Amino acid sequence: MEPRSSGLQRLVREVVKFGAVGGAGVLVNLGVFNLVRHVSDLPVVRASIIATVVAIVFNYVGFRYWTYRDRDKSGRTKELTLFLLFSAVGLVIENGVLYLATYGFGWDSPLQSNVFKFVGIGVATLFRFWSYRSWVFKALPAREAVARAESILEQESEQQTPRQRVP
C-alpha cells in the first residue's frame, strides 16, 4: 500500500507545483495580453499570441528549475525542442478558442476577450500538463536512477580513507 500512496503523493506535489508555475504564467499571459491591447492597435489574436509566447518562456524557466528540477537533464536540446513543439500546439489551442469567439461569434469586448483567453488557457493547460510530463520532463527510469545512486555511493566510499581490518 505504501508505494501506491507515495506515488499519489508525488503526483499531487507535481500537480501543485505545475499549477503554481502555470498560475503565475496565466497572470503573465493575461497581463501582457491586456498591456499589448492597451498600448497598441494590434488585433486581439495577435496580441494574445505575443502574450502566450512571453508566458511560454516564463513557464519553461519555472518548470525546468522548480517543478521538474529533479527530472532527467541529459538532453536539454531535445527537451527544449519538445517543450517548444508542445507549447506551440498549446498556443494554437489557446488562441484558437479566442479566434473562434472573436471572429466566429463576434464576442470581442475586452471582457469577452479576457474570458475566452482564459478559457483557451484552461483547455491548452490540460494538453500541456499531459505532454510536458509525458514527453518533455521525463522521469528517470528506475534502473538508471538506481545505477546513478550506486555510482555516487561508490565514489563516496572510494573517497573515504580505508580502515584496516581487525582480525
Tens digits of pLDDT across the chain (167 residues): 445 667 788 889 888 998 999 999 999 999 999 999 999 999 999 999 999 999 999 999 999 898 888 887 788 888 899 999 999 999 999 999 999 999 999 999 999 999 999 999 999 999 998 998 888 887 766 666 666 667 777 777 777 655 555 55
Mutual orientation of helices 76-99 and 44-62 as an angle, nearest 10°?
150
Distance between CA atoms of 21 and 62, rounded to whole angstroms?
A: 6
The four Cα atoms 141, 88, 26, 48 give a dihedral, to 10 degrees, of 180
Instruction: Say what the pLDDT of residue 2 is.
Output: 46
Instruction: Say what the pLDDT of residue 82 is.
Output: 92
Instruction: Say what the pLDDT of residue 140 is.
Output: 64
Instruction: Say what the pLDDT of residue 1 is.
Output: 45
Nine cell digits for residue 69? 528540477
Task: Answer for the pair 60, 114: CB distance below 8 angstroms, yes or no.
Answer: no
| pTM of the entire predicted model | 0.75
Instruction: State how far the alpha carbon of 86 is from the alpha carbons of 23, 29, 78, 83, 107, in Å.
Output: 18, 17, 12, 5, 28
Instruction: Say what the pLDDT of residue 151 is.
Output: 72
Q: Phi/psi class of residue 106: alpha, beta or left (left: φ > 0; alpha: ψ in -120 to 50)? A: left
Of 84, 73, 69, 87, the C-alpha closest to 17 is: 69
Instruction: Say what the pLDDT of residue 144 is.
Output: 62
